[in-house]
Structure 1
Amino acid sequence: MSNIRLKGALLDDETRCVHYHSPLDVVALQCYQCRTFYPCFACHNEREDHIFRPWPKTAQREHAILCGVCRTLHTIEAYQSMTHCTNCEAPFNPKCALHAKHYFE
C-alpha cells in the first residue's frame, strides 16, 4: 500500500497522533477533497489549506478508512458498523463516532 499518502502529527506507525493517541486510536481517514489520509481531522486542518471535507452519503463504498495496525483499507459503509479491523482484529475506538460529522455526511 505504498501509494497511500499518510500525513499528520504522527506519534507512531499505527497512526496515533498528538490529538488522539489511546491504544484504540489506530485509524486514519481520507479527506474527500485532497484524498490524503490523516489520523484525524485536526491533523489535516493544521497542515492543509482547506478543512477536512467529509465524504458524501453517496460514497459509502469508497475505501477511505485505513487500519493503522495492518494497513487494510475499509469502506466507509463497513467502518461505520465496525468495532475492530476485520483483517487483523485490532480494536477501534468507539468514541470516534463522536467526530463522525467531520468525516462523513
Structure 2
Amino acid sequence: MAIHLRGHHLLCLLGYRGIGYSEQFARNMSSVHDRLLKDPETEVCIVQGPDDLCACFPDDQVYHCDDEHVGTRDQRILQRLGLEIGEELTWGEIQSRIARLVNPEEIAEWCFTCSWRSLGYCEEGVRRIRAGHGLVPLPARIHGVEVYGVQVDSQTRCGHYASDRDIIAIRFPCCDTYYPCYQCHQAVAGHPAATWSTEQFDRKAILCGACGTELTINQYLACDSVCPYCGSQLNPGCKNHYHLYFER
C-alpha cells in the first residue's frame, strides 16, 4: 500500500530525528520514516492537504494541517520537484528529484514559519541526499542519551564495531552529537568530522554504554580501557583511532 504524503512532508522526512508534536505523532512518523529508510522502492502517493503524517496530529494542539500557508508551501515544493497531486512514484525517485532540484538554502525560504526549521535538520537532510545518502537512521536512546549511527545496540555497539568491549560512544564537537565510531559519523552526519582540541579535554564527551556515565576526555584517556565508574572493560584497540577524535 502506498504512503500518502503532501508536498512539504517530503522534505520534513529528510530532517526527521525521532521527535514530533506528541508521542503518538512521533511513533507514526517514525514508522513511516523506518519503512522508507528500509525500502526506498516504497510507493508514495502525492496528496493535497492532510496526509498519513497529519493523521496523528495531537487533538490538544492547534490544528494547522489545513492552513492556507501550509498548502502554499506544499505547492511550491511540488512545483520545484515537478510533481502533481495524485501522482505515484517510489521514495527513491523522490529522493533523486530532491538531490537534483533542491538546495539546502531554500528550506529557509519555503519553511520560514515552521517551528522545527531552526534546528537545521531539514537542511542537513537535503545535503545528505545531495551527497548520495538516504534518510538519517533514527537515534538509539541509551541510558537516556541519543546515539546516532549504523545498527546501534543498547550498549552503543554498531555495525562497524560490535565486540563485547565496544561499549562507548563519542560526542563529536562538530555537531555535539554522540556516535559509536568515526565510521558511523561518516555514514550518518552529513558533514566532515572535527576533533576535540586539548583545551577541551575537560568536556564530557564519552558515554559508557554499560552504565550510562558520561566521562570527560581526560578521564577516558587515563582510564586504561576500564570504565572508572562501573568497571566495564572497554576496547583497548580504540587507542589506534584516538587521532580521529582527539588532538594529540
Which of 222, 229, 235 is the equivalent residue of 1:81? 222
With 34-43 and 50-59 compared, the bigger mean Cα shift is at 50-59
Counterparts of 1:28-47 in structure 2, within 5 Å, are: 28-47=169-188
What CA deviation, in whole Å up to 9, does each residue of 1:63-87 have, x standing for no partner?
A: 0000011110000011012121111
- Unaligned 5+ residue runs, structure 2? 1-142
- Match status 1:64 vs 2:205: yes
Cα deviation, residue 10, structure 1: 3.1
Cα deviation, residue 11, structure 1: 4.1
Give, as a single letter, the amino acid of the residue that structure 2 aligns with 1:15: T
Identity among equivalent positions (%) equals 37
- Match status 1:50 vs 2:202: no
User: Of the two structures, which has the highest relative contact order with CA contacts closer than 8 Å and spacing of 6 or more?
Assistant: 1
Q: Distance in 1 between matches of 2:156 and 2:216?
A: 18
Q: Segments of 4+ in structure 1 off by > 4 A?
A: none
What CA deviation, in whole Å up to 9, does each residue of 1:33-52 have, x standing for no partner?
A: 10000000100111112122
Aligned equivalent of 1:99:
241
Q: Distance in 1 between matches of 2:189 and 2:152?
A: 19
Contact 1:16-1:22 at 8 Å conserved across structures? yes
Compute the TM-score of the two structures, normalised by the length of structure 1: 0.93
Classify the secondary structure of the residue corresponding to 1:17: coil
Contact 1:10-1:39 at 8 Å conserved across structures? no
- Match status 1:12 vs 2:168: no
- Unaligned 5+ residue runs, structure 1? none
